[in-house]
Structure 1
């Protein structure tokens, strides 16, 4: 007989929405396998070699360790290999070229763009958001409200002629989203733009494991 994890209904609902599963020492875990196979889901997997965050979105497969190996003895299996795959495929290079053209046209002010993926036709599109304020050092813009089965994959904004970095405001805005975030700086420089990139998931900011665009290696 297995006891419930919480006797408070709200606490039980929270734990059910963000479950944590031990990895069996042998065989498979139907619960973990179900999350990995899901269209949208997430969980923590606890193994002898640490804790892994597993995230699934229609456009993303992510398995990433979030702790080092736990020093206590755990009679569990391994959390497995790190994984970060784009289910949607690589974003066409032409989309990023259009983003750069838009950012250069906005100089000296900052600008923004979103890459959207349609789950049904498996096609990418570019959305330029409503801008409430844009200066060479400040940008306020609105996230798109998307219909079902359309997904924000990449959130890109520029720093004009300035350096490419993520600000404290960016950290707050990105803390509870799952997306690829890019900042483009040094626009107009002879050596070309400089790009900062990260994958936002589970409240963490992760290194982008590879360039999400086809063609040249834009992402830093």
Structure 2
């Protein structure tokens, strides 16, 4: 077997972020195993570029990370992009409860998480410990999860301000796999405003639709 790195730490990192070529015919057992897994990820290299494949108990994501290569590669296609919630859409009523909580916290910002219990296949809200909250900033702590719990959605408010992701949000979300939402213009007639994205592989991906049941569009 080819050794990819002589440093043990580097070898462990490469093993956790495997990269597989797509065969020109037939299937790749290695890529198929990642796609069928409960928790795994890899990069698939094809003639049409590189695709990040991410699997979590709650998420199936196949997303291109490069354009097609200009050079000829004797590989197959990486396939179509896809993003599916294995856990299903979050119940709309959870968003209503979170909005009520955020409005009660005005004029300060606030935060909430949506968790999913894999064994019970049920969703719940976790309101985190708030270290500091003002009308323009909130700092809070991620929950300590039980083995069967998964953090699906990280939500915070911008109180009366616009809904957008700040540079601080980008830094906080860079190494997470989760849905992130910012809710703004709370308590205003035209509100609320919602900014949304899927965080995975260091990328911030637009949501094709709302992650909540009963909504058609993502903000």
TM-score of the superposition, structure 1-length normalised?
A: 0.97
After superposition, the CA RMSD in angstroms is 1.0
Distance 1:111 1:205 in 2: 22
Q: Does 1:28 align with 2:27?
A: yes
Question: Which residue pairs with 2:148 in the alignment?
Answer: 149
- In the alignment of these two chains, the number of paired residues is 219
- Residue in structure 2 matched with residue 161 of structure 1 by the alignment: 160
Q: Show structure 2 runs of 5+ residues with no match.
A: none
Partners of 1:141 and 1:117 in 2: how far apart? 20
Which runs of no fewer than 5 residues in structure 1 stay unpaired? Answer: none
**Distance of 1:164 and 1:150 partners within structure 2:** 28
Which residue in 1 is equivalent to 2:123?
124
CA drift of 1:216 comes to 2.6
Aligned equivalents of 1:218, 1:112: Cα separation in 2:
22
Q: Give the deviation of 1:218 after TM superposition.
A: 6.3
Q: Cα–Cα, structure 1 residues 218 and 104, in superposed 2: closer, same or farther, change >3 Å? A: farther
Give a deviation string over 1:109-137, Cα, whole Å, max 9, x none: 10000000000000000000011111100
The residue number in structure 2 matching 1:187 is 186
Q: Which residue is 1:88 aligned to?
A: 87
Where does residue 78 of structure 2 map in the other structure? 79
| Structure 1 residues 81-125: Cα deviation after superposition (integer angstroms, max 9, x where no partner) | 001000000100000000111111111110000000000000000
- 1:200, 1:206 within 8 Å by CA — same for their partners in 2? yes
Does 1:19 pair with 2:18? Answer: yes
- With normalisation by structure 2, the TM-score equals 0.98
What whole-Å deviation, never above 9, does each CA across 1:49-92 have from its counterpart, x for those lacking one? 00000000000000000000011110000000001000000100
Asked if 1:50 is matched to 2:49, the reply is: yes
